[in-house]
Amino acid sequence: MLRLKFLLYLFLTTAIVFCSSVSAQDNFHKHQKWDALTKEYVTKDGFVRYKGFIKDSTKLNAYLEELAENHPNDKWTSAQKKAYWINAYNAFTIQLIIRNYPVKSIKDLGGSIYRVNTAWDIKFIHLGDETYDLNNIEHNILRKEWEDARVHAVVNCASVSCPALRQGAFTAKNLEAQMDEQMRKFINDKTKNTISEDKAKVSSLFTWFAGDFKDNAPSVIAYINKFSDVKIKPDAEITYQDYDWSLNDVK
């Protein structure tokens, strides 16, 4: 009888611990801390209240610690991993800016050698047992592993011409709809893309990463037309806007 009671106790204890662990993981995948911060300090048009993030840096740091303690593993779904890396990129970009605030442009950060030691090459992101820079996350993980051109609309480079930083966290449950929404919002943003049937002046992202868009559609124009309210003719004249690297700060 005592042995039976002990085994029952052991089973119940293990079950409680397991359920608690699963519940904690489920809550983490909602990225609630980041969700709350971006809804508080990101405007509807994607500008950032960096002074607010500075004021609430303790909350931001708590979220970054959660990311560090919950590194992706083989038990995660593809969507969970993808949402993790998108949120991580955006959250650590905010951290980089507020550490150096005030700053006129993210391009003012990093080393003094042009295009060598940039802000995107700083090894300041510690997740699990690994150390990353922003380039690692964007190019070696997000672009390489998923080959999804929508990535360019969901990672934010803290600049005026970048696709808007999303109000709210990306989550595995809603990821496909969220990524579509961000790309649609970016392409139809007249401050970043001016589109008509016969002529379009679009973001430089569409020439810098033309290969990514062509991997997801027959042409760059065809890709844009998947999300654009105005459909561009195949023979339309396409030019590219100058990229404004000014900080996307709320004035």
| pLDDT tens-place values along the chain, 251 residues long | 666 655 555 555 544 434 334 455 678 999 999 999 999 999 999 999 999 999 999 999 999 999 999 999 999 999 999 999 999 999 999 999 999 999 999 999 986 555 567 999 999 999 999 999 999 999 999 999 999 999 999 999 999 999 999 999 999 999 999 999 999 999 999 999 999 999 999 999 999 999 999 999 999 999 999 999 999 999 999 999 999 999 999 98
pLDDT number for residue 18? 45
pLDDT number for residue 70? 97
pTM for the complete prediction?
0.90
Strands 199-202 and 237-240: parallel
- 8 Å CB contact between 119 and 96: yes
pLDDT in tens, 178-201: 999 999 999 999 999 999 999 999
pLDDT in tens, 64-113: 999 999 999 999 999 999 999 999 999 999 999 999 999 999 999 986 55
pLDDT number for residue 21? 43
